[in-house]
Amino acid sequence: MAASMESKAEMGAVRAVSAAAPLALRILAECPVSKARACDLILPHGTVNTPVFMPVGTQGTMKGITADQLQDLGCKICLGNTYHLGMRPGPELIEKANGLHKFMNWKRNLLTDSGGFQMVSLVQLSEVTEEGVQFQSPYDGKEILLSPEKSIAIQNSLGSDIMMQLDDVVSSTITGPRVEEAMKRSIRWLDRCIAANKNPDRQNLFAIIQGGLNAKLRKACLDEMTKRDVPGFAIGGLSGGEEKDDFWKMVTLSTDNLPRNKPRYLMGVGYAVELVVCSALGCDMFDCVFPTRTARFGSALVPWGSLQLKKKQFAKDFQPIDPDCQCPTCKRHSRAYLHALFKTDTAAMHHVTVHNISYQLTLMRSVRESIIEGRFPEFVRTFMKRMFPVEGTYPSWAVDALASVNITLDGACSGQGCDSALC
């Protein structure tokens, strides 16, 4: 309640990015060294502080965590998957329940994907035509066509605060004419999605930049899509197993060409190092299933990597997962207890899920604070040193990506033009 009233007040003060969009972006600070920025993203269900990590609640639930727990962790926006929710319980039922927020009783913002990615990755028998993605329902075998119009219709039923356009997804490792076809088709589908949105006053539609790992195609896609007055942009088609050197170059090319006054969402990215580096490259929003999925396997994220709590070495380790972590799990339980509980009950997973979501959100809050306080490059250096304490173990892509935005790491040399004192 309080959140939505507050957002209304703010909406009055800050101009929305376009006349009709129910979204406003207030840039609070820009890092003077890198492209990092800290913003307030004002949405129908409250303000989101960026850079932000958005946990993924695929089927209208966050993996054993209650909506109240998620809210208590400070989460202001999470994801739902259109493909899954469109299948079960289906858009009609969610409409009857007055939208996904009400159905799952989540009072803050929701972002839904288009369903296209799941379709191509999960369903074997799918075929993409100009009309849309044709596939066979895994539940009843029926042939279903997911067109841009259909995807938006489902997302309109779900009532998410941010909807994603249906895009033509190709694997990021594919090359050749299919990449160009997919990029161009994604532009045509964007126009169809914009036309199909029944609730432009309540639901923001984001475009998805495609173009694979080809800079020319990406640039063409950026030029074309930024002509549309959409409320925000996503960088798509990455984080699918491509070389990290290609990945960051596509990200930075995208942020270079996206409008300053609109949010930038890097899809499917969620490892801590990627979050920090891509924040430096100017991305505002991130999502990934990794932190919650890995939690269920007993992997707890910490500033120095991760702890595999099921391993015997933690059986008699009576410290919390991370002594500095303020989450409910770390305040009450030890690694040893969680190790023991993993043999007994699913609550062990819930404990680690809570911790991992807390870790991701806390990390992003620290990124944001450092940007606002003008010490982001220093933050990055400290973060990287803790994550890779052994000299010479920084991943080279991260070193290069950071160097490209003028952040040099202690003890790392990016080659020519390096001004590190150690060089």
- Catalytic residue ranges: 113, 287
311 in contact with another protein (CB under 8 A): no
263 in contact with another protein (CB under 8 A): no
With respect to another protein, which residue has the nearer C-beta, 63 or 381?
63
Mutual orientation of helices 272-280 and 347-372 as an angle, nearest 10°? 20
Query: How far is Cα 234 from Cα 251, in angstroms, rounded to an integer?
Result: 10
With beta carbons less than 8 A apart as the criterion, state whether 179 and 167 touch. Answer: no
402 in contact with another protein (CB under 8 A): no
With respect to another protein, which residue has the nearer C-beta, 96 or 386?
96
64 in contact with another protein (CB under 8 A): yes
Query: How far is Cα 151 from Cα 196, in angstroms, rounded to an integer?
Result: 9
Least distance to another protein, CB of residue 294, Å: 15
106 Cβ contact partners less than 8 Å away, ≥ 6 residues apart: 57, 67, 70, 78, 100
Least distance to another protein, CB of residue 331, Å: 9
Number of C-beta neighbours around residue 90 at 10 A? 13
- From residue 74, alpha-carbon distances to 98, 108, 317, 360 in Å are 25, 10, 29, 11
Question: Interface residues for Zn ion in 315-374 (CB under 5 A)?
Answer: 325, 327, 329-330, 355
Of these partners, another protein, Zn ion, none, which one is at the site of residue 355 (CB under 5 to 8 Å by kind)? Answer: Zn ion
With respect to another protein, which residue has the nearer C-beta, 98 or 396?
98
With beta carbons less than 8 A apart as the criterion, state whether 257 and 223 touch. Answer: yes
- Residues touching another protein: how many (CB under 8 A)? 43
Applying CB under 8 A, the span of 67-75, 174-182, 198-206, 266-274 interacting with another protein comes to: 67-75
Options 53, 135, 206, 337; binder of another protein; rule CB under 8 A: 337
Alpha-carbon dihedral angle through residues 399, 404, 409, 415, given to the nearest 10 degrees = 70
Is it true that the peptide bond before 89 is cis, omega within 30 degrees of 0?
yes
Interacting residue ranges for another protein, rule: CB under 8 A? 59-69, 72, 84, 88-89, 93, 96-97, 103-105, 315-316, 318, 328-329, 332-334, 336-337, 340-341, 343-351, 354
Interacting residue ranges for Zn ion, rule: CB under 5 A? 325, 327, 329-330, 355
